[in-house]
Amino acid sequence: MDAREKWEILVAYYNENKIAPELHIQKDWENLFVEIFGYSKLSKEVDAQRNIQIGSTVRTIPDIIIHNKEQGDLFVVELKQHTLTTGTEQLFSYLKLLKVDLGVLICNKIYLYDYDITKDDDKQAFVEIAFTKDNPDGIKFVELFSKASFDRQHIKNFIQERKKEKENIHAIQQKVTAEFVRQVLQEQLSKTYSQEEIQQALEGIVITVDKKVAMPPTPFIPSSTQRQSNPPIPIEGDPYPTMKIGKIANEILRERLSQGISEQELIHLQKAEYSKQFLGINYPLLAKNRYVDDRNGIPHSRYYAEQVIINGSYFYLCSEWYKSDRPYLLKWLQDH
């Protein structure tokens, strides 16, 4: 089998096991690293559930460490249920502990990290790979992480190249404005026409630039900064009747956010007033800091420990949810 065929097996496995428990996923990926990537369990190259002692009482158990006798630990794999988007905090803690600079998080997508211990966690270079057919990055993942072709520097180069590409694309998108397009047109047309002709022609043309950013539905803005007195009622009712609101927030909402939202909505969700109005909660839905000072200046954690990656940036997700917030959260999920 070539890398493309192997990637298609991984995509099929993902689609068939989206709601499988983590114990099931753990065993399967141990076997996948043997069958697809060519490592040996007998030789301890697929080192699963290694017990690492820290001090006299604390221990930690990474899901999978890929290891060989010559180079030691090659990379660390953190596994989560395929509906989740969490796991970076655990993975980074293992990378720091083991002094390994390559990490793989497998959850709703595959995330590859070139971990630099000198940088903050939210500054780490990574590649995000969706489980989609013929995904070139997925095929490259199989090639790079297979035993026969494993090369640490090639992997790091791939991650850094993808990071640079993403930064360049963002820079281009920021640069392309209506005024920029007008200037380019003037430069090109000036090779054939006079400046007066170009100016008169362009005066009759309205130039707009569509950034292709999905904009959220225009929300109803209450007259006060408090949330609406009559909670919104989702059109489709409650699709999660057996789930507590905290679980909906930490799993369903987290997944929805990780798929990407508009930059405008991302800005709104970092504001307390907006989050109060449309989600019912008392704190910004998204924050860079887990801790909020109370009236006495004492910091308290109001956010889940696991960060969520949204539009390429890391955020903490608010953990302060109450039953009365449920209709707001359901409505937001329905609208986005």
Spatial CB neighbours of 86, under 8 Å, sequence gap ≥ 6: 80, 107, 250, 254, 304, 306, 308
Are residues 84 and 111 in contact, defined by beta-carbon separation less than 8 angstroms? no
CA-wise closest residue to 251 among 61, 107, 98, 73: 107
Task: Using DSSP, state whether 293 is helix, strand or coil.
Answer: strand
- Average pLDDT by stretches of 10, the chain with 336 residues: 96 92 93 97 93 72 94 95 82 93 95 94 91 96 97 97 89 86 92 92 83 42 45 64 92 91 88 90 91 70 91 91 92 86
Residue 247 sits at φ, ψ, to 5 deg, of -70, -40
281-311: b (≥16 Cβ within 10 Å) or e:
bbbbbbbeebebeeeeeeeeebbbebbbbbb
Rounded-to-integer distance, Cα 156 and Cα 150, Å: 11
- The pLDDT of residue 224: 39
- The pLDDT of residue 233: 54
- The pLDDT of residue 66: 97
